[in-house]
Amino acid sequence: MKLGIVVNNVMTEKRGYTTTHIALAATNRGHEVWYMGVDNFAFGPEEHVCAHARQVQMRHYRNVVTYTRSLHDESAIQERISLDQLDVLLLRNDPAEDVNKRPWARLAGINFGRLAKNHGVIVLNDPDGLAQAVNKMYLLLFPPEVRPTTLISCDRHDIKAFIRELGGYAVIKPLAGSGGRNVFLITPSEAPNLNSMIDAVSTEGYVVVQEYLPDAIHGDTRMFVVNAQPFIVDGVYAAIQRVRSVGDVDMRSNLSAGAISNSANVTEKMLEVAEIIRPRLIQDGMFMVGLDIVKDKLMEINVFSPGGMQIAERLYNAHFAREIVCLLEHKVEYRHQHRENFNNVEIATAAPLTSC
């Protein structure tokens, strides 16, 4: 299998990323893995999509430390490859990271991914589905019973009125943000600072205001859904509980904001949430997503580069990344067996009957 992975910047990829663990698992299974950044694409007069890509030397790697070092080392293979020679292209770049400094790069993975898909490459998640999810408004496409009451507006009067309706408690954040940046908990005692908080968030555009769920004080559960089903390997769910550090007054439970992770208790209510949203994930060709759930509410749905799977591997001693690679292998087999009878959206969530 020839696997391409699109990231924001190849040289800033880290050993702790879920993407790195998937790439390592694929390489150790004998597959070619080509990394490319969102600024590495080219479309030439020969009507092919190409990329200036990077690959580690083909051998078995003991861990992500040596793998990442080899990826960044001068010994890495660097070539201009044709994307239509790939079997699978994983779109793992986060558009939110490029909002401020490289707005032109936000949709590069999606747009060049579409061209690759038209040449028969399996592109995951489906680029047309991802195009609908470039900001937090995607959450509004899911049934209201699984998400918090929400307002999206640029008008501070609308925002203040909605917060009053919620009893003075709310969470505000930018529509296109990620990683917990500019996320604030509003309480009645914070009322004097409300204008400055709105100003900080609105510098990035529209403001998302959500009802505050008291259970969020205990953190949230990041649960992975793969092939539109809760991801489970050897009886263990790929899920982590993200909680704030002891004594931390920051209400965010993002790992990048300093939260810590524990093993998760996946409840029936969480599985019900996953079941309710499953038809939409299938419709949009979402192979792999991360659900951030508080009790029975979906706070966020991460469809671009959900992280934390490598932490679940360590917590449960489970081979989630290897299973992801096995599932990709099955999709390549499906494409070869059925020729053009599967379109990209259909093959995105097609699953084998048994575990790899």
pLDDT (tens digit per residue) in 290-328: 999 999 999 999 999 999 999 999 999 999 999 999 999
Q: What is the pTM of this model?
A: 0.91
Q: pLDDT: is 213 or 89 the higher one?
A: 89
List pLDDT tens digits, range 238-273. 999 998 654 444 444 444 445 788 999 999 999 999
Neighbouring C-alpha atoms within 13 Å toward the C-beta of 35: 29
Is-contact 291 147, C-beta < 8 A?
A: no
Rounded distance, CA 261 to CA 312, Å?
A: 9
Residue type at 200 in one-letter notation: A
Q: Are strands 297-302 and 288-294 parallel, antiparallel or unpaired?
A: antiparallel
CB atoms within 10 A of CB 348: 24
Rounded distance, CA 228 to CA 233, Å?
A: 15
Q: How far, CA to CA in Å, does 106 sit from each of 96, 239, 246?
A: 7, 28, 36
| Mean of pLDDT values over 225-237 | 97
Least confident interval from 27-31, 199-203, 311-315: 199-203
Extract the runs of DSSP E, i.e. beta strands, from 65-121. Answer: 77-82, 88-91
45 pLDDT exceeds 90?
A: no
Is-contact 231 271, C-beta < 8 A?
A: no
pLDDT at 255: 40
pLDDT at 176: 75
Joined together, the tokens standing for residue 303 give 């469809």
pLDDT at 257: 46
pLDDT at 96: 86
Q: Which domains does the chain have, with CATH numbers?
A: 2-124 (3.40.50.20), 149-212 (3.30.1490.20), 215-320 (3.30.470.20)
pLDDT at 132: 94
Least confident interval from 33-47, 138-152, 205-219, 252-266: 252-266
pLDDT at 209: 95
List pLDDT tens digits, range 164-176. 999 999 999 998 7
pLDDT classification of 179: cutoffs 50, 70, 90? low
Average pLDDT, the chain: 91
Neighbouring C-alpha atoms within 13 Å toward the C-beta of 341: 7
Least confident interval from 85-94, 108-117, 235-244, 280-289: 235-244
What is the percent of the chain where pLDDT is above 70?
A: 94
Which of 182, 157, 263, 280 shows the shortest CA–CA distance to 219?
A: 263
Q: Which residue has the tokens 């030439």?
A: 44
What is the percent of the chain where pLDDT is above 90?
A: 77
pLDDT classification of 219: cutoffs 50, 70, 90? confident
